[in-house]
Amino acid sequence: MSATALEAKPADAPEHCPGTQSEDAGKASACAGCPNQQICASGPKGPDPSLALVKEKLQEVQNKILVLSGKGGVGKSTVTALLSRAMAHSNPEKNYGVLDIDICGPSQPRVLGVLGEQVHQSGSGWSPVFIEDNLSLMSIGFLLGSPDDAIIWRGPKKNGMIRQFLTEVDWGQLDYLVLDTPPGTSDEHLSATTFLKETDGSWGAVLVTTPQEVALLDVRKEITFCKKMGIPVVGVVENMSVFVCPKCTTATDIFPAMTGGAEKMCQEMDVTFLGKLPLDPRLAKCCDEGKDFLTEYSTSPMVVVLNQIVAKVQDFFDK
């Protein structure tokens, strides 16, 4: 099954399309020249029927976690994989899922070691790919003909793909669904937030940053985005806080925290600080090879901190 066959319609929707349910549908300046302008202008308005469908499809998903980052390159996808694997290891009797909604840069299939796998479709929908007995993954990366294929879609198409992931994947009963998002505060984030707001159970966002100010400036915007959109903030993870030598265990600051790092920022913005993940070069190798870092290097200082972060995240949802 190819990604092309799954593209959301209309195929030529404008970049700033107001949406078919908007009162401005077919009337906004962005609608000029759109081949669907007349259809949208005369179509029915009102609540998006997809909201009820998503709520029904995710009724057995107890908790949803959005992993966000204001800036690219801070290790958001790596933290997503580590967080989901650590939770799955700590609670073998519970079920976990990862949904990769980074449409243009899906990395979870490689990081979780299932690159090249294919999803199968049945009467109940798409079946996610299982990483472990209690951990499954869905990503557009499974629908591409080649890892080198580029997804060149405007906002409406990406939003349509996210809607399909939330309504047509047969997740079954999940205790946690972890969503890996692209950097920023754009279409994918707005679409996921709109859908998850209407679902039952708990949800929240884990934000990822690195210590330097250029990353903290963007994660501050991400926190503001969460507050404006009504997204509960689980907390902030400071990734790559220090480099710990695998040989001598000496800690070195690679990205110095000139303004106090994420911990001080969390105090200023009144959000929870979850912890500092050290930089371990062996982690990058595991991600490239799709290996489980937690079992390969169980004595790494990163694993100790990661388990502490997982405990705080689970405490948030157990309240």
List Cα–Cα distances, 180 to 86, 111, 206, in angstroms. Answer: 15, 12, 10
pLDDT of res. 246: 76
pLDDT of res. 8: 43
Spatial contact of 135 and 178, defined as CB atoms under 8 Å apart: no
Instruction: Kindly give the parts of the chain with pLDDT less than 70.
Output: 1-16, 19-21, 23, 35-37, 39, 41-47
| Widest pairwise Cα distance in the chain | 69
Residue type, position 10, single letter: P
Q: What b/e readout covers 50-78, taking b as 16+ CB neighbours within 10 angstroms?
A: bbebbbebbeebbbbbbbbbbbeebbbbb
Reduced to 3 DSSP states, what percent helix, strand and coil does the chain have, rounded to the nearest 5?
A: 40, 20, 40
230: closest CA among 269, 191, 208, 204? Answer: 204
How long a stretch of residues is the chain? 319
Report how far residue 110's alpha carbon sits from residue 139's, in angstroms, rounded to the nearest whole number.
11
pLDDT of res. 4: 46
Report how far residue 88's alpha carbon sits from residue 204's, in angstroms, rounded to the nearest whole number.
18
Mean residue pLDDT across the chain: 88
Which domains are present in the chain? 1-46 (no CATH), 52-318 (3.40.50.300)
Whole-structure pTM value:
0.84
pLDDT of res. 100: 97
Instruction: Return contacts of 25-32, CB within 8 angstroms, 24+ apart.
Output: none
